[in-house]
Amino acid sequence: MSRKLLAILAATAVIGTSVAAVTFGGPSGDSAETDKAVSSIIPTVSEVSSGLTFADDPVTDQDETPAFSYSNVADVAEAVMPSIVAITNKSVQEVNNYFFRRSFQYEATSAGSGIIVGSNDTELLICTNNHVVEDASELSVTFIDEQSYTANVKGTDPDNDLAVVSVNLEDISEDTMDQIRIARTGDSDDMRVGEQVVAIGNALGYGQSVTTGIISAKNRSIEAAADSYGTNVTTYEDLIQTDAAINFGNSGGALLNMNGEVIGINSAKASQSGVEGMGYSIPIAKAMPILEDLMNRQTRVRLAEDEIGYIGINGQSVSRDATMLYGIPQGIYVTYVEEDSPAAQAGLEEGDIITEFDGEQVTSMRDLQYMMQYYAAGETIDVKISSASNNYEDDTLSITLGSRSSVQ
């Protein structure tokens, strides 16, 4: 199947007087944690430590097939709306002004959507798109009762544009807990082209809204550029195409079958002039194992400036063109290693390419600098590298982060 480069708008609303597109990609700074019991996307009610029930709740076991199908969209929306949240992301953006030969920073506020997928002993867990939460300096979640709570990024997968955020259960009021539900998941693989679907999300940042349509196609591939110049193109594969309206702010929201089950996570729409009704969702069958991994990672919070660790390197991104031409991996090409720095002591050298930091993919110094805000001096972190000296085979170094104050 041939694949054209589509102009894809990430369906996130920029709150203000206008609506604009945002970019895909960018990891967060969370690490793996396996000793915390997490209710998965497909738990039974008895397994959910918070006492939450499932949306619609006609059965208690997700392994059972619901013996019903809603007769209309209104019933689907009523059953599932308690499982959908609005996400607000405040971030600091940097814009290069070539006329003045300098860059400017400004605070941007954008809105997307999320789906309540589970809980553990201390957190409510919500899935969304990576591009909804990337670069967040402040993150909040608004539930069906219009109450908002501070959230943290628990884990991200930029390659698949997926993320999980958490809200502390102790912060959520009893009244809110009584009104929210865990979403049910369906079998996206069994869905047929032409079947009716329902999309729910925070369109334009105005609050939850409902649209409906059909599955137009399955196993679609799209390519999205990180900016208007067409650089850092990322390919997303095996997507569900739908004509249910997916607008700015719908990113991270649910695509549902007529049983009220989540069969996709809404992510993007085609934005070419004259194109209508081409939205794309990540199938839940593809997303589920990724989300379950992210749900089990350690939740990290942003540290105070004097607590943040440092590595001691400079670097630059390996471009997609360089990857294609020379067969080198994407990541951060290390251009300088500070003498006696944590990086130098761990054996990192100029010319090495950092591909992962604490299990998270990194492709730029901007990615790494963002992640470092969540890692304290004294922590030992595994860093995956490749270098020409070993034919770009993966190697792992353990770096004990230093204190910023010691180099000031």
- Strand 360-361 and strand 353-357: the pairing is antiparallel
- Rounded Cα distance between 52 and 34, Å, is 23
Rounded-to-integer distance, Cα 94 and Cα 119, Å: 35
Instruction: Find the catalytic residue in 30, 56, 161, 358.
Output: 161
Other C-beta atoms lying within 10 Å of the C-beta of residue 175: 9
CA 181 remoteness from chain centre: 21
Task: Decide: 299 and 166 in contact? Cβ < 8 Å.
Answer: yes
Q: Is 161 a catalytic residue?
A: yes
Give the Å distances, CA to CA, from 289 to 222, 284, 354: 22, 9, 25
75 is an active site residue: no
Catalytic, 46? Answer no
Q: Tokens for 281?
A: 């969702």
Secondary-structure percent of the chain, ordered helix, strand, coil, rounded to 5: 20, 40, 40
Least Cα distance to 115 among 91, 138, 136, 143 occurs for 143
Q: What is the DSSP letter of 303?
A: P
Q: How many CB atoms lie within 10 A of CB 69?
A: 12
In this structure, which amino acid lies at residue 257? N
Instruction: Classify the C-alpha dihedral 83-146-89-31 as positive or negative.
Output: negative
Q: CA-based angle 282:217:63, to the nearest 5?
A: 55
User: Could you say which of 251, 267, 281, 386 is catalytic?
Assistant: 251
Would you list the DSSP string of 143-205? -TTS-EEE-EEEEEEGGGTEEEEEEEGGGS-HHHHHH--BPPB--GGG--TT-EEEEEE-GGG
Question: Catalytic pick from 28, 131, 166, 317?
Answer: 131
Phi, psi dihedrals of residue 136, rounded to the nearest 5° = -70, 130
Q: What is the CA radius of gyration of the chain?
A: 21
Which residues are identified as catalytic? 131, 161, 251
